[in-house]
Structure 1
Amino acid sequence: MDAVLDERVAGIDLSLPKQPSIVVLPFQMLGGEEADRIVSDGLSLDIMTGLARTRSLFVISRGTAFMFRGAAHDARSVSEKLGVRYVLHGSIHLRGRQTRIHAALTDAIAGSETWANHFTCSIGDIFEVQDGIVGEIIGAVEAEIEHSERRRALLASPSSLDAWSAYHRGSWHMYQFTREGYVEAERLFKLAAKLDPNASRVFAGLSFVHWQRAFLEIGTDREGEIQQAFDYAKHALLLDPREPQGYWALGRAFLLRHDVDQAVEEIARSVDLNPNFAMGHYSVSFARMLKADGAASDLDVRQARRLSPYDLMSFAMLTVQAFNATVLGRLDEGADLADRAVRQPNSHYHILAMAAFCNAAAGRDHVSQRYVARLKSIHPGYRIADYFRAFPYRDAALVKQVRETFRRLGLQD
């Protein structure tokens, strides 16, 4: 087969593309009959299709990937033949009525396996659970590649940054959630935009920088930050009307204007375009939390955490889950989740306020008072109005409950 492939690729530039590149090799079928290959082919094709929908990845097409069906292939050799960095491979092992699926992601250039997992189900359930398995694999692969690209960008010399590396370096600074981090993120995103003016995700990133400044009230011109969050999100969609992060950024901007219904609509589009977009699932859960739709919000945030278990926004995901549990009457669970949220890296001062509320609802006033004391120390002068600017709940009874709780804990209107 090597000779056939060499003949076909003659004259093609197989250097690595600017964006992350990946091939999904056909999963090997171990055990079972030849007819069972439909399961492995279907799984591989569904993963391939899902990854292609992310739009940020260069994904080798089915016609080429399936040339590697059969025996196991060395990841480095596949990488060289196809001009890709990442190789996703796996197997399906049929043993009696049990099916065991193994998947692994390899950075073939670095020569390291960056992620692996396995899944078990009965053969009779394979088609029912396949979508869930595919979604989990795609979410994990996206997150690992994003993390790897960000790490490589941080190691690159500042003078040698290309648009993609500048974007990922900026993303790292953005997720530090500090005033200084936003300054550096904005600089790097603008550098990326200069190097590649058509990069939609870069402008979505700029939108989120201004969103965070408005949300955390960093600076004196909150309205100006909100307007820039809108402008950059709209520009991202102008460049690419099918970019999920563009709709995500636009939906988040609507939250700053307290237009929760429009926010849900825009963010839901991002998930429609990429069902494995963890930040999309989280953000729509945040918006639904504001609408007091705790049950739907809880499903969304659980999906976000399932897709990205080690996300840099884990503190925010846990906080939404905590608030939902509290509102739905699972008071101890809500307080425990809020405590976990506070302990996460990058957790900011609004999380302390949320944790104080959840613990007070569970009757843990001594814990709530500690959170309020920390809140006042980190953000002197924090008032109930500051909380409601960040969390504009639509349910009057819920607003009253939160306000009365904060007053009892010593916060001023």
Structure 2
Amino acid sequence: MSFTQYDFKPFIYEALADLNFTEPSPIQASVIPKIQAGRDVIAQSQTGSGKSHAFLLPLLNKITPEHHTQLVITAPSRELAEQLYQAARQIISFSPDEIHIERAFGGTDTQKQASRLESNVPQIVVGTPGRLLDLVDNNKISVHQVRDFVVDEADMTLDLGFLNVVDQIAGRMPKNLKMYVFSATLPPKLKPFLMKYMSNPDWSTIEAKNKISDTIENLLVPVKGRDRKALLFDTLTIGQPYLALIFANTKETVEEIYKYLKSQGLNVGHIHGDLPARERRRVMKQVQNLDFQYVVATDLAARGIDIDGVSHVINYEVPNELEFFIHRVGRTGRQGKPGTAITFYIPEELKDIEWLENKGIKFQFKDIKNHELIEGKDHDARSARQKAPEVDNAVAGMIERTKRSKVKPGYKKKLSRQIAKHNKDTRMKDQRIKRRDQRKRNKEENKVDY
């Protein structure tokens, strides 16, 4: 397949040549024709699949010289919005007609922006939901004539509690609006929003061939009561990682790790939601420029880090939401390059490790002694897996009664049915417990600091 089949305007092809893009990715091949056909689209595809250009190419191709806002794109974080803004700017820079694009997220000078918007109405606006709604409320941007609305990273938008804000923005757009929702996952709580605004949407789902690249080596290192920060320093200074991303679950932990590693003389940066907007943008630029050898981040803040040079990922702690594990580890081993992911764990987290193994992730048990990475033997994990199932006393009693020689006719069949019912009830009870544990885990997900 080739991009030439889409009959884009010449400047789009110039932008593609500048990017050295010759063939559409699977998500692009699926989505572009649907957008060109004028359909609402829901697209599910993993990060790094090329979904940004799946909507940017056909939608920027539709922009006309009319001086009103025609396209609005929302992303749940400043870093993600900045990436989309820069990607859109790269494409429209080749347009023979001037196309105005505006960013609507923190870190911009609000007074200068207000003055700019009075003299230049943007045809394209890229922003975070909160900042975009603020501009709409203050009549700095009008969305009454918007033709196309993109909600990118919808699952993260929901996680951060921004879906209601997106709802308010969409509610002020025309009834004939075309909407495009892109997401790595599609939680059930998104459905009411999708049904409210989308008319018989086309679905595009691109399954990842592998959850995690085969070139990534996944290592498990037990904490064993050791000081976790000292263990981290020991791990990071074995060899020389080109660029290591260190993930922690809360912004407080990120700060602790950052200060500790800096005090140990390491070239380290950090990124989380509590950093001032200008500081975050500065750090992200330094990360992109590979100014740091080590970067500490929370899960959601790291969604804006998209670089190919990550050699190591360190899970300082198992993520509260296990799906984040895949997002974390997927930062390394890109484009067929080797990568190493090291996860610190405690015995209570072995059930989480098994859940990840059931997703097809293969782990190697290791340990660190005398500043060396050595083979590890996790006896607790192995014995837990090989432990014989506990004897169900109720079932044992029923089976014992079936062995009696003097029983009424049909009694054994009746007992067999009772045993089957008991086993079914036990399975259902186990499933209820698992569902309850999953609900607890989902609640914990909402506590992840950004």
Return the structure number with greater relative CO, CA threshold 8 A, min gap 6.
2
Which has the larger helix fraction? 1
Which has the larger strand fraction? 2
Q: Normalized against structure 1, the TM-score is what?
A: 0.29
Larger radius of gyration: 2
Q: Normalized against structure 2, the TM-score is what?
A: 0.27
